[in-house]
């Protein structure tokens, strides 16, 4: 094998190893988020139905509960898609496949749904991230004192980037097919 071929193989081997690690991390994260989502759902439903106080933060509003459940479900789906992308690359499949392009397009649409759900939640809630106390989540605010709707521009940009990536991967697939036909 030529020196250039050896470099290509070494690069592909590093990509596969990296993808295997990231895929495993995303799979574990998917399971943890799914378990947390199911526990939060069960505790919130029991808390609302039977007026039980579990000593943890749950919601009393069915509207807020539905939006939070939607956001949790979206996070789980995104982690699952991400783990599938890296799993395929770790198994040695070409990243330029129609399946990968469709996954990236699905991610862009899912992130857009997330932006919509977050905007629906924003009149009575605002996102909170405190590093020292490790509080991550949503804080409920009085709508009358701060009537605003938040649009997550960062998430919109992420959706645009993933949609663009899906187009790039479709183009890469076409180039790969053309190259295969030429050879």
User: What is the pLDDT tens value at each position of the chain, 183 positions in all?
Assistant: 788 888 988 988 999 999 999 999 999 999 999 998 888 888 888 887 887 776 666 556 677 777 778 888 899 999 999 999 999 999 988 888 899 999 999 999 999 998 888 877 766 555 554 445 555 555 555 555 555 667 778 889 999 999 999 999 999 888 888 887 886
Cβ distance 119 to 151 under 8 Å? yes
Handedness of CA 163, 164, 166, 167 (dihedral sign): positive
Note whether 2 and 89 are same-domain residues. yes
Q: How many domains are there within the chain?
A: 2
Together in a domain, 130 and 62: no
Query: 81 and 154: one domain?
Result: no
Residue the block writes with tokens 């960062």: 154
> Of 93, 126, 147, which closes a domain?
93
Beta bridge partners of 127: 138
From 93, 123, 155, the end of a domain falls on: 93
Contacts of 60 (CB under 8 A, 6+ apart): 47, 48
Of 61, 82, 76, 70, the residue nearest 118 (C-alpha): 70
Is residue 67 domain-shared with residue 146, that is, in the same domain?
Answer: no
List the domain range (segments joined by +) for residue 178. Answer: 98-183
102 & 143 share domain? yes
């Amino acid at each position: 094998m030529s020196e250039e071929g050896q470099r290509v193989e070494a690069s592909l081997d590093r990509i596969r190893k990296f993808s295997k690690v990231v895929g495993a991390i995303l799979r574990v994260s998917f399971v943890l988020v799914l378990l947390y989502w199911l526990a939060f759902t069960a505790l919130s439903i029991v808390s609302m139905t039977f007026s039980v106080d579990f000593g943890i933060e749950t919601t009393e509003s069915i509207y807020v509960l539905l939006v939070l459940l939607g956001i949790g479900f979206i996070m789980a789906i995104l982690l699952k898609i991400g783990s599938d992308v890296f799993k395929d690359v770790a198994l040695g499949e070409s990243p330029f496949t129609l399946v990968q392009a469709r996954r990236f397009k699905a991610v862009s649409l899912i992130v857009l749904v997330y932006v919509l759900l977050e905007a629906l939640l924003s009149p009575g809630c605002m996102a909170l991230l405190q590093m020292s106390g490790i509080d991550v989540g949503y804080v409920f605010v009085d709508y009358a004192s701060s009537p605003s709707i938040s649009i997550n521009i960062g998430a919109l940009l992420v959706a645009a980037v993933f949609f663009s990536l899906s187009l790039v991967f479709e183009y890469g697939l076409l180039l790969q097919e053309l190259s295969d036909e030429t050879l």
